[in-house]
Structure 1
Amino acid sequence: MSETEPENGDETHRTAIAGIGAVADMHAMSIDDIETATLVAGSCRTESTGRTFADEHDCEWYGDTESMLEEADPDVLIVCTPSGAHLEPTLSAAERGIDVLCEKPLEITTERIDRMIEAAEEADITLGGVFQQRFTDIFQQVHEAAADRRFGRLSVANAYVPWWREDDYYEGAWQGTQELDGGGALMNQSIHGIDVVQWLAGATMDLEPDENPVEEVFAYTARRAHDDDILEVEDTAVAVLRYRDGSLGQLLGATSMYPGSLRRIQLAGRGGTAEVLEDEMVTWSFRDERAEDEEIRARFSAESETSGGAADPMDIDYADHRRIIETFLESVSSDEPYPLDATEARKAVAIIEAIYESAETGSPVRLS
């Protein structure tokens, strides 16, 4: 791979994006803000979309990813194709020794994810996932408290994503299809809440790196607000979780709750409770009150400035995507582990797979 040196002496990572949809713009804007990254190319099948993207972000457009990887010769590939089409560009990049940062979910089944992990290991490349909620200041704060065991013996870890999507969001799109979305409200929208709550709960436990903090699930799914010809998969799901330490949890994932409201994450135990409503800390209370707690409550008490995607999927800021890309590139440059590697990104998909199996069979499902 070819790398250039910016004025500060750090290497510049030649970066390409596979799949030019709405989220690709967030990655492109993020790259533009990062001194150690340069966007050299983007690929998509639609020429008008590709040329517009190339003009806006001063890069080259390619009609297919294979040609882009061969001709643009990037150091890093960011995969933004539809969810069920993440495997193929990742394998192509791995064959060429190109590091890969992949949008959520890493893929729509753990079997396909495992193929990606195997290819990355064989090629000795870095394969990382994108779950931007982990990189927000507020959830970093909760994670720090969880790792510090401030919640004591954990009792519950809950995630509620009561969102809404209009019919036209699904019409003629890959979203909401089994083939490319792999599921509905859970796999596409609520996966962020599922990932962050299992990550927070896992920080209170002594787990192996590849061990999922969720041990068992029981779930129901339904299609309640969208007709069958609009949506193939669920728009409403509820699940009960049992974590490996015996604590319990509830999940609500929906795109059926007009007009949509803010995501809520709760973590609580004998030692205290933290509750986050989108990006506002509505509860931060511990038995061992510390001097910094009042400052934390004040710092995160402001009401959310966006809906967080509750009704509009693009009503989000790209600052956390920028943090993710910066962290990924730092890991690539230093050979230090990327904190949201493929094994970590796999965990949320494994939980959702188990939920779908439970809803289909009517029985509890244990995670391996």
Structure 2
Amino acid sequence: MTDNYCIAIAGIGAVAKMHAKSIADLPNAELVAGSCRTEDKGQAFADDYGCTYHSDTEEMLTTTEPDVLIICTPSGAHLEPTLAAAERGIHVLCEKPLEITTERIDAMIAACEEAGVRLGGVFPQRYNPVIETMYTAAAGERFGRLAVTNAYVPWWREDAYYEDSWQGTEALDGGGAMMNQSIHTVDAVQWLAGAGMDIPPTENPVAEVTAYVDTLAHEGDLIEVEDTAVAVLRFRDGTVGQLLGATSMYPGSLKRIQLGGRNGTVEVLEDELLTWQFREEHQEDAEIRKTFTETTSGGGSADPMSIDYHYHRRNIEAYFDALDSNEPFMLDGPEARKAVEIIEAVYESADRGEPIKLE
């Protein structure tokens, strides 16, 4: 790293605190400002993290002139601060999802490209060492032909989570258990399955989706979106897979990812490696099995804030590295868009009652 970055955060909710802690850990970054419509909450955040509070994001950008805007507003309110930052020549790092529709994401990508600023996404599971190790195996074709890629997010959310909140609304959440809670795993699955595919980098490795969604555990008008979703995926190389995304399964369990093929199977439970078995044993395999023997985080299965912020820190650090070097960022706009494209197909398939092909 060579540059020192002045950072502003738009949206001072719970996830913004993870970003603030991450920035505090980095030697070349300083949090200078945060914006929030609620003065008490905004001023408390400013006091805790040594920055200035602003009630309006555009005023904050004009006044403080940061190098990077990190967007932590509700999911369906990511486009507007991105446009405001791009107009001012400010780079943008945006929390998941980039936005709640691919149409709005495309507007973000176009604005940043036109302004010559870098748009990046936040998917910290890509910086989870056990997921990185799985990716290396997939990219090294250790599975042979990949046959199956499964992912399960069997989580629970109490009714209070949705009460008087933007979560669970069509307008700002854009979806439920799949769009909000499971999107990290959707991104991880498409990244892992695509590791060995010979396709253009902007092409989604998922070819077709068949899905069912419903609201089964949260009754009445508490939630406008699904709390339960199941999808079957067919990838472009013929691999098949299953996705479960739920906030309907009390008391909530850790997420699980499985990859398997002719020459091997790997299974991960949150941060714990349950299975690492290949037809051809490599020298490093025994050490890998010894390294990932436990889960140290609740993973968000019942408590949204039981997530370790250190993967956020690595995500942010990698973005700054890309700015420094002017090299591609792994989670640029088109790459971070892929998970939303898959989830849009999940909702469309469930609505139409038929498989949906991704273009």
- Could you state the TM-score of these two structures normalised by the residue count of structure 2? 0.99
1:174 equivalenced with 2:169 (yes/no) = no
3-state DSSP of counterpart to 1:275: strand
Matched, 1:188 2:180: yes
Distance in 2 separating the partners of 1:267 and 1:17 = 36
Q: CA RMSD in A?
A: 0.8
1:213 has 2:205 as partner? yes
CA distance in 2: counterparts of 1:63 and 1:208, whole angstroms: 42
Q: Which residue of 2 aligns with 1:148?
A: 140
Alignment pair present for 1:138 and 2:117: no
* Cα distance in 1 between the residues matched to 2:264 and 2:173: 37
User: CA separation in 2, counterparts of 1:357 and 1:10?
Assistant: 45
Pick from 286, 296, 304 the counterpart of residue 313 of structure 1: 304
State the SS of the aligned residue for 1:267: strand
Match of 1:14, as an amino acid? C
Q: 2: CA distance between counterparts of 1:271 and 1:346?
A: 31
Q: Could you say which residue in structure 2 is the equivalent of 1:4?
A: none
In the other structure, the counterpart of 1:325 is: 316
Which position in structure 2 is the counterpart of 1:63? 55
Aligned residue for 2:209, secondary structure, equals: strand
Paired residues in the alignment total 359
Match of 1:252 among 244, 268, 276: 244
What corresponds to 1:6 in structure 2? none
Query: Residue 97 in 1 paired to residue 89 in 2?
Result: yes
Q: Measure, in 2, the Cα distance between the counterparts of 1:12 and 1:39.
A: 11
SS at structure 1 position matched to 2:275: strand
State which of 69, 75, 100 in structure 2 corresponds to 1:108: 100
- Consecutive unaligned residues of structure 1, counting only runs of 5 or more, are 1-8
Percent of matched pairs sharing the same residue: 65
Counterpart residue number, 1:202: 194
CA contact (8 A) 2:2 2:324 kept: no
1:5 corresponds to = none
Instruction: Tell me which residue corresponds to 1:299.
Output: 291
- Measure, in 1, the Cα distance between the counterparts of 2:327 and 2:190: 23
1:280 aligns with 2:292: no
Q: Does residue 1:159 correspond to 2:151, yes or no?
A: yes
CA positional deviation for 1:333 = 1.5
What SS class does the counterpart of residue 349 from structure 1 fall into? helix
Q: What does residue range 74-93 of structure 1 map to in structure 2 within 5 Å? A: 74-93=66-85
Partner amino acid, structure 1, of 2:160: D
Q: Distance in 2 between matches of 1:90 and 1:70?
A: 14
Alpha-carbon deviation of 1:305? Answer: 2.2
Q: CA deviation at 1:66?
A: 0.3
Q: CA deviation at 1:227?
A: 1.0
Question: 1:353 maps to which residue?
Answer: 344
Tell me the distance in 2 between the aligned counterparts of 1:351 and 1:228: 28
Displacement after TM superposition at 1:334 (Å):
1.3
- Helix, strand or coil at the partner of 1:114: helix
Matched residue, 2:17:
25
Instruction: Give the drift of 1:332.
Output: 0.8
Q: Give the SS at the match of 1:284.
A: strand
2:162 partner letter: Y
Q: Which residue of 2 aligns with 1:3?
A: none
TM-score of the aligned structures, taking structure 1 as reference length: 0.97
- Structure 1 segment 40-59 matched on structure 2, within 5 A: 40-59=32-51
Aligned partner of 1:354: which letter?
A
Which residue identity is paired with 2:298?
S
Paired residue secondary structure (1:291): coil
1:239 aligns with 2:231: yes
Q: Cα deviations across residues 292-324 of structure 1 (Å, max 9, x unaligned)?
A: 10100000112x122200000000111011101
